[in-house]
Amino acid sequence: MKANDYSETYVVSIKREIKRILANGDSKQWSCYTDVYIDYTKELQSPDTLRNKRTIIGAIEQFDVYGRYPDGRRQHELFERGSYPLLYTGIQKSHRS
């Protein structure tokens, strides 16, 4: 990624998240990248932080599943488009009830 002019911060974020996924995947019983993100929604409440996590996890998914490097044009496929995924999970749960 460095050879393709990705920023050092971005590369470090991707590496950190890959290590976390590999270290915790079995114990947390994640079966897909969406599960990884949903786990963050239980810990984090900042929409900006969650959006950043979605971007990083989505980039990892795109590379792992489709062999695509992030290019700034392609969006992740963790969720359908729209604002609903940006809602705090407590609001989503109360909305479903």
Each residue of 36-88: pLDDT tens digit?
A: 999 998 998 888 999 899 989 999 998 998 888 877 665 556 665 555 555 55
Q: Who wins on pLDDT, 49 or 94? A: 49
Instruction: Determine the pLDDT at residue 2.
Output: 64
Q: Which residues contact 89 (CB under 8 A, 6 or more apart)?
A: 38, 41, 42
Q: How far is CA 71 from CA 22, 28, 35, 46, 75, in A?
A: 24, 30, 24, 25, 9
Q: Would you kindly state where each structural domain of the chain is located, as residue ranges?
A: 2-96
> Could you say which DSSP state residue 72 is in?
S
- Across the range 90-94, mean pLDDT stands at 50
> Could you say which DSSP state residue 96 is in?
H
Handedness of CA 84, 88, 79, 60 (dihedral sign): positive
